[in-house]
Structure 1
Amino acid sequence: MALQLWESALQAKASELHGDTWHITLTDSIEPHKQAHDWFQYISGSFARFACSLCKRSWMSKRVQVVFHFHMDTAKERGTIKLRRFKQKCRRCNEAQMEDPNFPVENIDVLIERLVEKIRMRCYKEDLGEKNRPSVFSGRVNGPHESAHCEACRLAVCSQAN
């Protein structure tokens, strides 16, 4: 289901990608700051919700990191995007596992819009200037960011201060 939301948002913006075909895949194997030759990287953050698979507790985070690696194969007129969504674990469960974030559709749209801008600038050499569309945050987040439960903090990708 999650991949369908990302793919749908990407296809809604596909007209801006010069008629080339682009596809997105979810992966946990991306290492931030270590993209392969001819690949570009874009790191961003957004609001998301998490749910513990053990105790069913849910929580929100204002700044969940995502990293995109993208590459354009000009000979085949096809682009590939790899997406890693950084996880968090429940602070209440002793044996908690890292849980996937659930982004609101509006925020997926904003993240994809920003990504498409990066693709246009890096792969198609367009000068788009500066734009900044904020992500949507609805709700209240209590308490400080807990680095011990944040996968992005462990990998030095998190932009959230303690």
Structure 2
Amino acid sequence: MSLQEWARLFEQRTGRLHGHNWTITFDDSIVPDKPAAEWFQYIRGAFAKFSCSSCDRTWGSSRVLVVFQFHYERGAKRGTVRARRFRQECKTCEETEMEEPLFDSENIGVMLEKLVERIRFRCYKEKINLKRSRPLDWTEGPHESDLCEACKRGFCRQTNS
């Protein structure tokens, strides 16, 4: 799904949360577990598909790391979310680029709903029961660390199976 679709789905879920505007942008420079001062973080694993730009091979992965960092500016009555979706390489190509994950709208919706719960909890101090849940379409199987961008950068939360 395109970045514009993410923004549209995010806007549907936030509307004018407590009368405030929230925006989402994508930023590949985000470092997990190192949000800026006064920023919060939410990390989610989710199912996504990939397509190799070299050989057209496609594959799915239930262990795609998505990092959200968010900040609420009380005086301006607006909030900002920055997101990073970690990529994967094709296992059949020798010289390959990191490919962008393609999430379906249902998985994006679940991630954004959980993100909005955390925004409501952290920024608006609402009492919310934050439960951990598995990604939609969760499948067990090996995690190929040598193809995972998050593993290569030392951020992955998965272990080899």
The TM-score with structure 2 as length reference comes to 0.91
Name the residue aligned to 1:144.
142
SS at match of 1:67: strand
State the shift of 1:20 in Å: 0.7
Q: Distance in 2 between matches of 1:26 and 1:119?
A: 17
Structure 1 residues 152 and 50: CA distance shift in structure 2, 3 A = same
Bigger shift: 101-110 or 17-26?
Answer: 17-26
Structure 1 residue aligned with 2:158, among 151, 157, 160? 160
| 1:54-90 Cα deviation digits (max 9, x unpaired) | 1111110011000001001111111110000000000
State the shift of 1:6 in Å: 1.1
User: Once superposed, what is the RMSD of the aligned Cα atoms?
Assistant: 1.8
Gaps of 5+ in 2: none
The TM-score with structure 1 as length reference comes to 0.91
Q: Distance in 1 between matches of 2:16 and 2:77?
A: 14
Name the residue aligned to 1:39.
39
Name the residue aligned to 2:126.
126
Does 2:115 correspond to 1:115? yes
Bigger shift: 106-115 or 12-21?
Answer: 12-21
Structure 1 residues 61 and 14: CA distance shift in structure 2, 3 A = same
Does 2:6 correspond to 1:6? yes
| 1:19-59 Cα deviation digits (max 9, x unpaired) | 21000001101011111111111111100000111111111
Name the residue aligned to 1:93.
93
CA contact (8 A) 2:62 2:135 kept: no
User: Following TM superposition, where does structure 1 have runs of at least 4 consecutive aligned residues deviating by more than 6 angstroms?
Assistant: none
Q: Distance in 2 between matches of 1:134 and 1:15?
A: 26
Bigger shift: 76-85 or 2-11?
Answer: 2-11
SS at match of 2:18: coil
Q: Identity of paired residues, percent?
A: 50
Gaps of 5+ in 1: none
Counterparts in 2 of 1:57-76, with a 5 A limit? 57-76=57-76
